[in-house]
């Protein structure tokens, strides 16, 4: 493991005595702000979605998160690490590969990493937009019931 300057203390090990349900529901408190996805269909652990990977719980007891990021090349990873060094909060690089990196940090520091990790924010719709979506879904369901197909060039069978 690589220690980063400014990180205090020893490496924190992930929690092992915490139940699966607690792990899977831990990040639901961020559903109003960020896009939450399931990392693994078996464990159903909620993760915050980023452009290059996701943010997962690392230690619930110590309020730590870990960002698991994957890059298309080592050059892109090097550029990311240079941007990461500009952040003035404590973090720890727990894994540094050729094209991937894992970074553990405090949950309170999440807002400091949002821009660098390119965290995907949740979309918020106005009531008018929601009503328009409901009407389109209702119309689509009515068309399916009567067997009518929508005149859409994308949906038309070729031939």
In whole angstroms, what is the distance from residue 27 CA to residue 56 CA? 8
Please state the pTM of the whole predicted model. Answer: 0.66
> How many Cβ atoms sit within 10 Å of the Cβ of residue 12?
15
Structure tokens at 33: 């702000």
Domains and CATH numbers, the chain: 20-117 (3.30.1360), 125-159 (no CATH)
Q: Is the pLDDT of residue 156 over 50?
A: no
> Using an 8 Å Cβ cutoff, are 86 and 111 in contact?
no
Mind listing the pLDDT tens digit for each residue in 85-105? 888 888 998 889 899 999 999
pLDDT number for residue 14: 57
Mean pLDDT confidence for 36-52: 79
pLDDT number for residue 12: 54
Cα torsion 102, 106, 110, 116: sign? negative
Structure tokens at 39: 């990392």
Mind listing the pLDDT tens digit for each residue in 125-139? 888 988 988 998 888
């Amino acid at each position: 493991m690589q220690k980063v300057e400014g990180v205090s203390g020893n490496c924190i090990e992930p929690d092992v005595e915490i139940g699966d349900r607690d792990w899977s529901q831990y990040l639901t408190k961020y559903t109003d702000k960020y896009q939450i996805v399931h990392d693994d269909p078996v464990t159903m652990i909620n993760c915050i979605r980023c452009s290059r990977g996701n943010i997962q719980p690392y230690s619930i007891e110590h309020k730590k998160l870990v960002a698991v990021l994957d890059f298309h090349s080592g050059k892109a990873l090097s550029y990311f690490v240079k941007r990461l060094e500009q952040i003035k909060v404590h973090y720890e690089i727990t894994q540094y590969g050729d094209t991937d990196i894992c970074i553990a940090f405090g949950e309170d520091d999440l807002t400091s990493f949002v821009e660098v990790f390119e965290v995907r924010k949740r979309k918020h719709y106005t009531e008018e937009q929601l009503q328009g979506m409901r009407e389109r879904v209702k119309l689509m369901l009515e068309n399916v019931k009567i067997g009518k197909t929508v005149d859409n060039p994308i949906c038309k069978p070729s031939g």
